[in-house]
Amino acid sequence: MVLTHTTNHAYAHPLPTVTLAFFLRYCSPQLNPFAAHVLSTDTISTHVDEATGRLHTTRIHLKKSRMPPSIMKLLPTSLTGGGGVDKASYILETSVVDMREGWMSTESRNLNFVGVLSVVERQLYTAATGPANPSPAAGNENTNVATTVVFRSRLGERIRDRLGHHQNQTQHLQLPSHAHQLAPTATDAAQQEPGSGWFARLGARGIQRSIESLASTKTQDQLGKSREGMRMILERLRQSGIIGVLELRKMARERSAEAA
Amino acid sequence: MSQSLAKKCNEVKERYDTCFLKWYSEKYLRGIGAVDNNECSALFKEYSSCLQVALKERGIDKLLEDAREDNKENDADLSP
C-alpha cells in the first residue's frame, strides 16, 4: 500500500535565502506562527563534504502528533496510546545543500508510529532558470520546489518498530471495553499477520488504504501552512537580514522565558 | 531555533545554532573561507555530547537505527 502526492511551488526569493529559511523555519513561534506544533529541534550531525562542497545536515524534530483524529478513530485505543491526539512524533530530517550546482534536497520522515503510517516527504529546491537566467547559482530571484510525499501504512504487517513501543511501554493502560473486543493487546495486534484476528474482521488492506488517504488529505492542508510559514520567514529575512532575524529570535526567547 | 529535546542542552544548543546560522549565511552561502564549519565544531561537540545522552534516555537512538535500516532497504539517495 503506497500513496504518493506531488506538488510544485515557487518562492519569489533566491535559492540561498530559501535554504536559510528552511533551517530557520522552526526557529520560534513568534517568527513562524505555523510552527507552534513543533516542540523541539535538534541537530544530530552536520558536515561539509570536502570533495563536493555539499553541506549534509541531519536534524530531529519533535512535533505534536499530526495523526488526524479520523485516523485515530480507526485504530484501537491500545495502539494510539489512549489520549492519542496529544501524542508527539519524532521527525528525522536530512538535507543536502549544493550551492555550486544550485540545489537543496531534503527528506523528512516520521520515526515513531511507522507501523501505523509512514510519511516520507522529499523536497528539491532549485534556483529557477530561464532564458534570462542561464546560470543556476548566480543571483536568481526565484526558487522552485518540487515536493513528493509518500504515504505507506503497514498496519498489521510484521515490522521492527511496533508502533513506537520503544518509548511507549505504558500505552495499553487505559483500554476501553469496545477496544478490547477489537484488539487483545497492542502487541498481539501488531504482531499478527494480516488474515488473523481483528485485522481480518476489519480488513487490514482497507484500513491501510483509509489511513493513507486520510493522511494525504491532511498533509495537503499541512503543506499549505508549511509554505505560509516559509513565506513569513523569507519576508523577515528580506526586511531585516539574518542578523535581524537572530535578534528577533533572541528577544522572543527572552520574552517567553520571562512569561514562563 | 526552538527548544532542544532536552532542557539541559538548551543553552549550548542556542549558542551552536547561532554560530551555525551566522556561518551558513555569511560564509557558506557566499563561498567565503574554508568549506568546513570549523568555527562551530567545538560548540557542536559540546552540544552533541549533551544531546546523545538525551537521545539514549528517550530510546530515540534505537528509532534512528531502525530508520537507517529502512533507508538501506529503500536505497534512499538525496542527490537530485
Report pLDDT for B40.
93
pLDDT at A109: 94
- Alpha-carbon radius of gyration of chain B: 16
Left (φ > 0), alpha (ψ -120 to 50) or beta: where does A80 sit?
alpha
Mean pLDDT, to the nearest integer, of A55-77? 78
B12-47 confidence digits (pLDDT tens): 999 999 999 999 999 999 887 666 667 899 999 999
Q: How far is Cα A147 from Cα B61, in angstroms, rounded to an integer?
A: 28
SS3 content of chain A, % helix, strand, coil (to 5): 40, 25, 35
A158-179 pLDDT, tens per residue? 544 444 444 443 333 333 333 3
Residues whose CB is less than 8 angstroms from the CB of residue A226 and which lie 6 or more positions away in sequence, other chains included: A25, A34
CA B12/CA B54 separation, integer angstroms: 14
> CA-CA distance, A75 to A72, in Å (whole number)?
5
- Separation of alpha carbons A186 and B47, rounded Å: 36
Chain B partners within 8 Å of A107 (Cβ): 76, 78
pTM given for the model = 0.78
Measure CB to CB from residue A166 to each of B13, B37, B59 and give the nearest one: B59
Q: Which residues of A touch B51 (CB under 8 A)?
A: 42, 44
Give B20-78 as a 3 state SS string.
Answer: HHHHHHHHHCCCCCCCCCHHHHHHHHHHHHHHHHHHHHCCHHHHHHHHHHHHHHHCCCC
Write out chain A residues lying below 8 Å of B45, CB-based: none
Residue A27: which of B2, B37, B80 has the nearest Cβ?
B2
Q: Does B44 touch chain A (CB under 8 A)?
A: yes
pLDDT > 70: what percent of chain B? Answer: 80
Judged against a pLDDT cut of 60, whether residue B76 lies above it is answered with no
For residue A39, what is its C-alpha cell? Answer: 516542540
Q: Which residues, including other chains, have CB under 8 Å from residue B53's CB and lie 6 or more apart?
A: B6
Return the amino acid letter for A255: R
**Rounded mean pLDDT, A14-37:** 90
Which set of grid coordinates corresponds to residue A42? Answer: 535538534
Name the pLDDT band for A76 (thresholds 50, 70, 90): low
What is the rounded CA–CA span in Å between residue A27 and residue A25?
6
Domain ranges of chain B: 7-78
Question: Quick one: angle between helices A15-24 and A204-259, nearest 10?
Answer: 80
Residue B44's alpha-carbon distances to A79, B13, B18, B19, in angstroms, are 37, 8, 11, 9
pLDDT in the model for residue B38: 72
Kindly state the DSSP code that residue A62 receives in the 8-state scheme. E
Distance CA(B27)–CA(B32), nearest Å, equals: 5
* Interface contact B58-A167, CB threshold 8 A: yes
Interface contact A19-B76, CB threshold 8 A: no
Cβ–Cβ < 8 Å for A92, A111: yes
Q: Write down the mean pLDDT value for chain B.
A: 85
Half-sphere exposure of A41 (CA within 13 A, CB side): 22
- Give Cα A89 distance to the centre of its chain: 9
Quote the minimal CA–CA distance from B27 to chain A in Å.
11
Distance CA A15, CA A161 (A): 37
pLDDT at A179: 35
What residues of chain A lie within 8 A of the CB of B26, using their CB? 242
Burial environment of residue A14 by CB neighbours within 10 A (0 to 12, 13 to 18, 19 or more): buried
Q: What's the rounded Cα separation, in Å, for the pair B56 and B51?
A: 9
Nearest C-alpha neighbor of A80 from the set A122, A34, A116: A116
Cell, residue A1: 500500500
- For chain A, give the mean pLDDT: 76
- Residue A108 bridge partners (DSSP): A93, A121
**Percent of chain A at pLDDT above 90?**
36
Residue B49's pLDDT band (cuts 50, 70, 90):
very high
State pLDDT tens for residues A133-153: 445 444 558 999 999 999 998
pLDDT of the residue at A164:
46
Of the two residues A165 and B7, the one the predictor is more confident about is: B7
Question: Is the pLDDT assigned to residue A188 strictly greater than 60?
Answer: no
Nearest CA in chain A to B48: A44
Taking the C-alpha atoms of residue A177 and residue A118, their distance in angstroms, rounded to an integer, is 28
Secondary-structure percent of chain B, ordered helix, strand, coil, rounded to 5: 70, 0, 30
A245 close to A28: Cβ distance less than 8 angstroms: no
Give me the pLDDT at residue A170, please. 32
